[in-house]
Amino acid sequence: MTTWADAEAIRRYAGAETGAARSYPDDEHFGLVPDAHVDHFELAYRLAEPTTSPSPAKPIDIRQPEDLDRPETYSHVIVATGSRTVFIAGQMSDDRDGNLVDSGDLAAQARRVFGNLGRALAAAGARPDQVAKITIYVVGHRPEYLPLIEAARRELFGEHKPTDVLLGVETLAAPGYLIEVDAIAVLD
């Protein structure tokens, strides 16, 4: 079994980046396990690997399929191109002490929930435009709730449209809570 301490050092020594050919010293120079079998096909494969992968301009790539509708508030497809994923637990209309705020007022709770989501993202070093997906849970959802939820959502996301699912539910974690939102973000 071959182990590799630093494939980049192997490439540099072999001259893979410059095209120069060099002879290889003993296996230990490469960080290989002493007395281990060296698979030369694996070595050739590792030398051919790019030394760096291109850094994406944005950690998410939003795509709208031509044969699907163009929703105003969400995207159909987001491809994660970043390297770190952040999972934000369901945010509710809580104050910093965990107390319910704005009981019975969906619009106020939605503003608080998306505000809390923004604070949770910031704590992870994420921005709203790095959110790839949200799930919105609404107690007793009805179509007339959509404008209230969308207004609060736009306060956080602006023109950014993460993918989403909105679910009407019977209840949330405790009485009085009307909306909860969780999120997945992708960072560079």
In a domain, 37, yes or no: no
Q: Tell me the two tokens of residue 13.
A: 């020594």
How much is the pLDDT for 58? Answer: 80
Predicted TM-score (pTM) above 0.85:
no
As for how many domains the chain has, the answer is 1
Gap between the Cα atoms of 84 and 68, Å rounded? 29
In a domain, 147, yes or no: yes
In a domain, 83, yes or no: yes
In a domain, 134, yes or no: yes
In a domain, 51, yes or no: no
In a domain, 19, yes or no: no
In a domain, 111, yes or no: yes
How much is the pLDDT for 72? Answer: 87
Tens-binned pLDDT, residue by residue, of the chain (188 aa): 334 444 455 445 555 444 444 444 444 444 444 444 555 545 444 444 444 444 446 888 998 889 898 888 899 998 998 889 999 999 999 999 999 999 999 999 999 999 999 999 999 999 999 999 999 999 999 999 999 999 999 999 999 999 999 999 999 999 999 999 999 999 98
CATH of the domain at 97: 3.30.1330.40
Query: Quick one: CA dihedral 29, 30, 33, 39, positive or negative?
Result: negative
Q: Tell me the two tokens of residue 127.
A: 């921005």
How much is the pLDDT for 130? Answer: 96
Gap between the Cα atoms of 160 and 129, Å rounded? 6
**What is the domain range of residue 88?**
56-187
In a domain, 86, yes or no: yes
How much is the pLDDT for 13? Answer: 52
Of 72, 132, 119, nearest to 91 by C-alpha is 119
